[in-house]
Amino acid sequence: MLKIVFKHSHLIDLKIISQTIQYRSWLNREGYHYYLFGTNVIKKINYKKITSDVKKEFEKYKIKLEKKVTVSKYYKIYLTKYGTYGSYDLPDKVYVNVFRTPKQIAETIVHEIVHLEFEDEVKRKKLTHDQKERLIDEKVAEILE
Ligand SMILES: [Zn+2]
């Protein structure tokens, strides 16, 4: 069964900030939206509330997601005020930005988990970034429909 746990960590926030800065010009070129040191920094975030709202939305996709990805992993979902809408680190970490609706955040979590599960296939097929996103989006669409 798919297990996820929501977390918030200042250390992870710092990691996201430094990665966002590192890849800034690439993100700009690709047209990604991201948060660094804007008004997001001073916004008070109720992580508990977001966690329960997003969990509720995520439940709707869980069964379909479990069918698509054979997982016995324990995913760590980090909520952050920084970075892009979502990203991931192998084998089991997902980072999602809190400044969207619970439904959007839940959909991003599905997207990032699918990334984690199909990274091997992506590497094997030597897909470009665009090809990779297309493959992931196709699989995600079947889950979210
Ligand atoms: Zn993606």
Compute, in angstroms, the gap from residue 10 CA to the centroid of ligand 1. 24
Average pLDDT over residues 63-75: 86
Compute, in angstroms, the gap from residue 114 CA to the centroid of ligand 1. 9
Compute, in angstroms, the gap from residue 111 CA to the centroid of ligand 1. 6
Compute, in angstroms, the gap from residue 84 CA to the centroid of ligand 1. 11
Compute, in angstroms, the gap from residue 123 CA to the centroid of ligand 1. 14
pLDDT tens per residue, range 88-126: 999 999 999 999 999 999 999 999 999 999 999 999 999
CB of 136 within 8 A of CB of 118?
yes
Position 89 scores a pLDDT of: 96
Percentage above 70 pLDDT, the chain = 100
Spatial CB neighbours of 81, under 8 Å, sequence gap ≥ 6: 13, 35, 40, 41, 43, 45, 97, 98, 99
